[in-house]
Amino acid sequence: MSHLVIAPILLPAVLAGLILLVARGIALQRLIALAGAAGFLALALLLAGRGGAPVAYHLGNWPAPFGIVLIADGLSVLMLLLLAVVALPVLVYTMASGWDARGRHFHALFLFLLAGLAGAFLTADAFNLFVFFELLLIASYGLMVHGGGAGRLRAGIQYVGFNLVGSTLFLFALATIYAVTGTLNMADLAQKWPLLPPGDQALARVAAVLLLMVFAVKGALVPLQFWLPGTYAAAPGPVAALFAIMTKVGAYAALRLGWLVFDAGPTAGMWAELLQPAALATLALGAVGVLGSRDLPRQAAFAAIGSMGLVFLCVAAATPGATVAALYYLIHSTLAGAALFLVADLAGRRGASGPVAALFMASAIAVAGLPPLSGFLGKILLLQALEAQAPLIWSAVLLASFLTILGFALTGSARFWKARGTAPTAAEPLALAATGLLLAGLVAMTLLAGPLTLWLKGVAEGLADPAPYIAATAPQSGG
Amino acid sequence: MNLLIAVTIGLLTACGVYLILRLRTFPVILGLTFLSYAVNIFIFISGRLAPGLPPIIDKAAPGYTDPLPQALVLTAIVISFGMTAVLVLMAIGAHLGAGHDRVDLRDDAEAGE
């Protein structure tokens, strides 16, 4: 039964290999990729149906601190489900729009990216987290330059270069952590971290800050966000939509390790102290960027930066209430950001026709956080959770929202209302439907906000009380 | 011995950082390679230096060196080698496509408008 835990990694990885080996024609590739994404969704639902108790999978049945452990707990399952829900419409859009036929290997890379993301969400070993980060990054390098073109390749080089530096920092951090604690298993780390001798505490703090920098690179936190606007604006539209969840990996890792390990002993409260000003700066930069961009993909990229600012603001607060807000806004901003990237791609390829304009308006409302869509509820949750620091944070969040609305209103009217030039061609119905499906997810989040926050509360409580997570890592007989 | 290795890592890192800040892709790739050399040695010694001791069980051994960092560094070497290869290929593609190998994107933004 516990083999279910590793299935979300194996299924896309095996299917990706299958595509590379046997599927020459695009039709067969599409079929396998669709089956992979649908199967991934089914596996995520199966895992979610098991309830919130952490389940462990010991690779090779090695006992815990020596072997690698995968753990599916509330947070992991939530992220897997979100990934599946984003991946399926994006895949359908890619097929409908013909993006996948503009180069080879789109579907294999897509499935490898799913496998890497699933592994990063499931692993309970810090070095294994690095390996899965690299797996998802190398798939994303291929996807980013999919379709070719000199401009895209050169933006891709910046992206790869920036992330290679990030990977090097990750390795320095992990080696330092290993040098002071002698372990890289997350549960084992959680137990050893508060007990470090005074002589090692300075090194431990250095390692914690290095690790936070790595997650800030992934999560596009100021001042490490430079790679994002160029990459997301130059990447093919559907790939940028899929990347909307890749920035969230940084937030996931910060939540996971922040709660489990680093909010104790020599580093208690340190991440929060560093994260808050960075998150506020990210929020401001995202809002100003949205106001200042003139083309839609770039604007969507800055909106993604701004949403990461909001998520990290809640992560920095490090209370269960703020974590619920962070998770709610994380889900919302992933769906809304992906929809906005797809709309930007539609408008770029097919022109500003009526249905595209309507989808743009809906996704802009969602991203800016206006009622009636879920961004509004997410921001209310966030403001409530951060009430203690109201004067600073409330004014920053509200001002950033205002600038974002203004930016979208400006491009919206210039691009869709007063559209000039060539007449738009009708967009593919299936592509419109896929974008609409993401927005329908937002409507569902709004209507089902009560049960959803209840579920998220359970996830946040699971993070605040690491005892079951640590207990699940311990070897079980016959497990 | 400790000092020698520390100085080596420091020198490699300094070279890597300097080269990464250059404007052309080739020095940047070399810089990333230097950084990965530095971090590989760093991982290798994170289990502390124990010269002349075996990593696996030996009845005559007076003690052991930590085998785990050696496994970690092997993984790290493979990954950084693969990543560098990808970056080299992309850099060659971009160089052939654009006719120059500058890292910044300004020319493309102008050409794209």
| Chain centre distance of CA A372 | 24
User: What was the pLDDT predicted at A476?
Assistant: 52
Are B97 and B90 in contact by the 8 Å Cβ rule? The answer is no
Are A323 and A255 in contact by the 8 Å Cβ rule? The answer is yes
The CA-CA-CA angle for residues A90, A212, A77, to 5°, reads 40
Chain A residue nearest residue B44, CA to CA: A175
Q: What's the Cα-to-Cα distance from A89 to each of A94, A241, B90, rounded to whole Å?
A: 9, 10, 29
**Is A67 an 8 Å CB contact of chain B?**
no
User: What was the pLDDT predicted at A79?
Assistant: 94
**Is A178 an 8 Å CB contact of chain B?**
yes
Percent composition of chain B: helix, strand, coil (DSSP 3-state, to 5): 70, 0, 25
Read off φ and ψ for residue A102, nearest 5 degrees: -85, 0
Domain range enclosing B63: 2-107
Q: What's the Cα-to-Cα distance from A47 to each of A256, A385, B96, rounded to whole Å?
A: 19, 29, 47
Q: How far apart are CA A274 and CA A31, in angstroms?
A: 46
Indicate the pLDDT class of residue A101, thresholds 50, 70 and 90.
Answer: confident
The pLDDT tens digits of the residues spanning A300-321 come to 999 999 999 999 999 988 888 8
Mean predicted lDDT score pLDDT of chain A: 89
What is the dihedral sign for C-alpha A129, A120, A54, A445? Answer: positive
What is the dihedral sign for C-alpha A138, A139, A143, A144? Answer: negative
Read off φ and ψ for residue A55, nearest 5 degrees: -115, 135
Is the Cβ pair A138, B82 closer than 8 Å? yes
The pLDDT tens digits of the residues spanning A461-471 come to 888 888 888 88
Q: How far apart are CA A440 and CA A284, in angstroms?
A: 29
B52 belongs to a structural domain: yes
Chain B residue nearest residue A154, CA to CA: B94
| Lowest-confidence segment of A130-134, A330-334, A427-431, B47-51 by average pLDDT | B47-51
Rounded to an integer, the average pLDDT of B21-43 is: 92
Q: How far apart are CA A339 and CA A169, in angstroms?
A: 32
Reported as half-sphere exposure (CB side, CA atoms, 13 A), residue A74 has a value of 23
Of A52, A54, A53, A84, nearest in space to A69 by CA: A54
| Lowest-confidence segment of A41-45, A372-376, A434-438, A444-448 by average pLDDT | A372-376
Are A233 and A295 in contact by the 8 Å Cβ rule? The answer is yes
User: What was the pLDDT predicted at A103?
Assistant: 82
pLDDT of residue A84 exceeding 80: yes
Of A364, A477, A357, A471, nearest in space to A53 by CA: A471
Read off φ and ψ for residue A247, nearest 5 degrees: -65, -30
Of A77, A76, A59, nearest in space to A68 by CA: A59
User: What was the pLDDT predicted at A285?
Assistant: 94
Cis preceding linkage at B67, omega within 30: no
User: What was the pLDDT predicted at A420?
Assistant: 67
The pLDDT tens digits of the residues spanning A178-208 come to 999 988 989 889 988 998 888 888 999 999 9
Q: How far apart are CA A260 and CA A128, in angstroms?
A: 16
Q: How far apart are CA A247 and CA A221, in angstroms?
A: 10
User: What was the pLDDT predicted at A479?
Assistant: 38
Residues of A in contact with B87 (CB under 8 A): 157, 160-161, 164
Tell me chain B's radius of gyration from C-alpha atoms. 20
Q: Count of H helices and E strands in chain A?
A: 20, 2
**Is A176 an 8 Å CB contact of chain B?**
yes
pTM: 0.92
**Is B83 an 8 Å CB contact of chain A?**
yes
Is the Cβ pair A127, B98 closer than 8 Å? no
User: What was the pLDDT predicted at A421?
Assistant: 65
Indicate the pLDDT class of residue A147, thresholds 50, 70 and 90.
Answer: confident
Strands A55-58 and A69-72: antiparallel
> SS3 of A56, please?
strand
3-state SS of A371-396 is CCCHHHHHHHHHHHHCHHHHHHHHHH
Are A56 and A472 in contact by the 8 Å Cβ rule? The answer is yes
Tokens 């060659």 -> residue: B92
Q: How far apart are CA A347 and CA A100, in angstroms?
A: 18
Residues of A in contact with B46 (CB under 8 A): 175-176, 178-179
Q: How far apart are CA A55 and CA A74, in angstroms?
A: 10
Q: How far apart are CA A139 and CA A116, in angstroms?
A: 8
Indicate the pLDDT class of residue A102, thresholds 50, 70 and 90.
Answer: confident
pLDDT of residue B9 exceeding 50: yes
pLDDT of residue B112 exceeding 50: no
User: What was the pLDDT predicted at A441?
Assistant: 92
B36 belongs to a structural domain: yes
| Chain centre distance of CA A421 | 37
pLDDT of residue A419 exceeding 70: no
Cβ within 8 Å of B, A 5-44: none
User: What was the pLDDT predicted at B110?
Assistant: 42
Token pair of A434 as six digits:
């896929």
Query: B45: domain CATH number?
Result: 1.10.287
Alpha-helical segments (H) within A318-448 = 320-350, 354-368, 374-385, 390-412, 429-447
Work out the minimum CA distance from B25 to partner chain A, whole angstroms: 8
Is the Cβ pair B69, A175 closer than 8 Å? yes
B112 belongs to a structural domain: no
Q: How many domains does chain B have?
A: 1
The total of other beta-carbon atoms located within 10 Å of residue A466's CB is 19
Please report the ipTM that was assigned to this predicted complex: 0.90
| Lowest-confidence segment of A46-60, A418-432, B80-94 by average pLDDT | A418-432
B64 belongs to a structural domain: yes
B55 belongs to a structural domain: yes
Are A135 and A119 in contact by the 8 Å Cβ rule? The answer is yes
> SS3 of A422, please?
coil
The pLDDT tens digits of the residues spanning A278-296 come to 999 999 999 999 999 888 8
Q: How far apart are CA B63 and CA A291, in angstroms?
A: 64
B72 belongs to a structural domain: yes
Q: What's the Cα-to-Cα distance from A333 to each of A54, A75, A338, A375, rounded to whole Å?
A: 26, 17, 8, 7
Q: How far apart are CA A306 and CA A311, in angstroms?
A: 9
Rounded to an integer, the average pLDDT of A383-401 is: 87
Tokens 């790290």 -> residue: B76
Are A363 and A345 in contact by the 8 Å Cβ rule? The answer is no
pLDDT of residue B109 exceeding 60: no
